[in-house]
Structure 1
């Protein structure tokens, strides 16, 4: 009796994570996470978040951890001291991030990722042992000066901690390309554009038929650490932060000084916001509020940090961004714990704010074509995946280069993980994995 090989693909994303499995090379099936708590959900997208809290009993204190929607519920309930961490993938390639303290214990990036993987596989009901595991990785990691070798060492250490030393790694857009290839009825050169939370990645792949078997040949890759989170940052920086004191003044020894901007740079990024309670920023903000010319905006800022309102605020920002993909204008609305923000945003304003990011994305796209030695005319199909691919300004980048008729889109969450699982089922997996 033979046992069919199970291949698992995992798309660990900045915002969401997806797991898919292929049995014996059959079409991949995506795991569904059924959360039946006070905030029920049923989705293939497992939020890339962790919540740590302490259980206190007669046996002493014990740190517990949950991930995904279970982490969000624990965080929102707030029945005990907790630490909520989201978008921690952005730390992967950062040499400046060594560790963070959680209830007195030191957690490195690989410790956070290992805790997260334990939760993902547990809630998916998947035992990755004795399977072929292919993990997605960005073409270029997020960050101002990302260290790719450091990021991959951390990835491997994290998977080793959960017993998966033999995991293999493939570029995320290559996974999406494998998924898309199932639709192709003829030979074609395909550009795959994957827009995640932290990175935008591009791969050019040639699909051919040899001896009646479809083959795929990677031609070139490129990426940039700019994506959905960067667009959220622009909204926060332009709309939210000014309502929380950015650009205002405080008094120091009879001098009028501008409020330091680094607090707002941290606030505008999820991965930094989670640290502001512990790194001294909150204490400094309280001191500044006492000498601010107008303390009320700073007090709102402090309230957001103290009351852990960042998650709800970021959901409101993301909702406004999504609305601008289909409407010419929207209103960002946020009202929690006495903090009220309502601001009208037009699509034209938003596109002006993200113009530098769009330019970087266009540059990475052109670099992928150069590395592939392929012109825009030589690309027969363009496959777009990821939530940001629906932003009109991004779509225009591709329409201008390739024409509307070449563009196609797919499920924004499932294509990469499904393609990675299919790669794991191939007899020549080594051709597709990265170093």
Structure 2
């Protein structure tokens, strides 16, 4: 069999197949079935590393360029933009193709043979409120998959794929709302599930509504960073000799995974040196200059991500910010985190309600809430969604594997 499902995710990617009659995720990095969607270009060796090895190479201090959140550029003008790697411009389209090609090779190595047919996961909306950009995003991903060697491809909404995974344990008919909160998007599907329906190849009549919004775990990282960390680097400060704020663009780029590298361009470093001479609080702005000069932006983003996870799990966290200033730490409470992301979570809740409105149903009609996606464990998000459906039962999926497993099921139905 040369059939697989591919979940190319903003933060992590997976590949799945039907093996011995059951959907299984393939090991992609050692015995791990998840592959962080990260690339590191090692400038000294002129080689590249993928996944956990990419992050490890960067953290070790190797001279090079780390890129994460690659999926976020699909459907944007960045797809045809370039960045300097190995002293030459490389298009982001080629960077995505490099990662995707490596992902396919790893899946083939685990499978022990070529893979030629695939169902690829996609969010309900790659780009919010822009049909043309959304269509372009899917077309770009299709072209990348074909260039990697897939002869036949199809797409499936990620929450629908997660529903197929959940349906394996369903024992009676139920109406389920799939809540997939990933690294880049929040996606929802309202679908009828049952053991009998699970056998059907065509499930269009079972899907009542889909919806989504371009908000996910990387957005929570960005919002937390802007609210709590970037002020320590001068965000919100003033210029010394004129009634103007310190330019905020640098901070937004530093807080956003896929734009961090733009700060390392020579012209930006010159701009920062000029601004440093004019700001009122030179000490805080010097921290920003240090992070950029030492190319420590991703170290800072990793610290923020870890702090987010820790505060959601334990209710409090302490962020070590030595990459900003030696010995600098920031205590973080769950209340601080929730305040920073509350507006985004309200937008997610609105998107959930839009799915209900589209289906013409009241919340009481929903039997089950199936949570999946790496960011689905954010307490405020869960509390907000659960409050809308007080009579529904909550079911936990595999946060990083449900979509990939469901895509394997979808691929087998389509191509076998």
Q: Identify whether the pair has TM-score above 0.5, normalized to the shorter chain.
A: yes
Cα deviation code 1:345-379 (max 9, x no counterpart): 22223222212111110111111222233332221
- The answer to whether the aligner puts 1:352 opposite 2:348 as a matched pair is no
Cα deviation code 1:406-429 (max 9, x no counterpart): 111122101100110011111589
Q: Which has the higher strand share?
A: 1
- The answer to whether the aligner puts 1:21 opposite 2:17 as a matched pair is yes
Deviation at 1:178, TM superposition (A): 0.6
Change (3 A) 1:323 1:69: closer
Deviation at 1:220, TM superposition (A): 1.4
The 2-side partners of 1:335 and 1:347 are apart by 22
- The answer to whether the aligner puts 1:140 opposite 2:125 as a matched pair is yes
1:315 pairs with one of 293, 302, 323: 302
The 2-side partners of 1:94 and 1:74 are apart by 28
Change (3 A) 1:275 1:145: farther
Listed as ranges, the gaps of 5+ residues in structure 2 are none
- The answer to whether the aligner puts 1:111 opposite 2:97 as a matched pair is no
Cα deviation code 1:251-310 (max 9, x no counterpart): 4xx435321111111111011112210273222112211332232222211221222322
The 1-side partners of 2:323 and 2:149 are apart by 42
Aligned with 1:184: secondary structure? coil
Deviation at 1:88, TM superposition (A): 1.9
The 2-side partners of 1:373 and 1:279 are apart by 54
2:235 pairs with one of 246, 265, 270: 246
Listed as ranges, the gaps of 5+ residues in structure 1 are 36-41, 57-62, 430-435
Count of paired positions: 409
Matches within 5 A, 1:101-180: 101=83, 102-124=85-107, 125-126=109-110, 129-142=114-127, 147-180=133-166
> Residue 80 of structure 2 contacts residue 93 of structure 2 at CA under 8 Å; is this kept in 1?
no
- The answer to whether the aligner puts 1:375 opposite 2:370 as a matched pair is no
Return the TM-score normalized by structure 1.
0.86
Deviation at 1:138, TM superposition (A): 0.6
> Residue 7 of structure 1 contacts residue 422 of structure 1 at CA under 8 Å; is this kept in 2?
no
The 1-side partners of 2:414 and 2:155 are apart by 16
Return the TM-score normalized by structure 2.
0.90
Cα deviation code 1:20-67 (max 9, x no counterpart): 22137x2222122445xxxxxx532211111223467xxxxxx53321
Aligned with 2:273: secondary structure? helix
Moved more, 63-72 or 195-204: 63-72
The 1-side partners of 2:308 and 2:195 are apart by 41
> Residue 109 of structure 1 contacts residue 154 of structure 1 at CA under 8 Å; is this kept in 2?
no
The 1-side partners of 2:389 and 2:342 are apart by 20
The 1-side partners of 2:270 and 2:146 are apart by 38
Question: Which residue does 1:38 correspond to in 2?
Answer: none
Aligned with 1:248: secondary structure? coil
Question: Which residue does 2:263 correspond to in 1?
Answer: 276
2:51 pairs with one of 38, 47, 68: 68
Change (3 A) 1:279 1:212: closer
> Residue 207 of structure 1 contacts residue 214 of structure 1 at CA under 8 Å; is this kept in 2?
no
The 1-side partners of 2:238 and 2:51 are apart by 39
- The answer to whether the aligner puts 1:259 opposite 2:246 as a matched pair is yes
Change (3 A) 1:97 1:424: closer
The 2-side partners of 1:157 and 1:204 are apart by 30
Aligned with 1:258: secondary structure? coil
The 2-side partners of 1:104 and 1:165 are apart by 34
- The answer to whether the aligner puts 1:287 opposite 2:271 as a matched pair is no
RMSD across aligned positions (CA): 2.6
Question: Which residue does 2:351 correspond to in 1?
Answer: 364
- The answer to whether the aligner puts 1:11 opposite 2:21 as a matched pair is no
Question: Which residue does 1:60 correspond to in 2?
Answer: none
> Residue 93 of structure 1 contacts residue 141 of structure 1 at CA under 8 Å; is this kept in 2?
yes
Change (3 A) 1:344 1:301: same
Change (3 A) 1:351 1:211: closer
Change (3 A) 1:79 1:358: closer
The 2-side partners of 1:427 and 1:159 are apart by 17
Change (3 A) 1:27 1:289: same
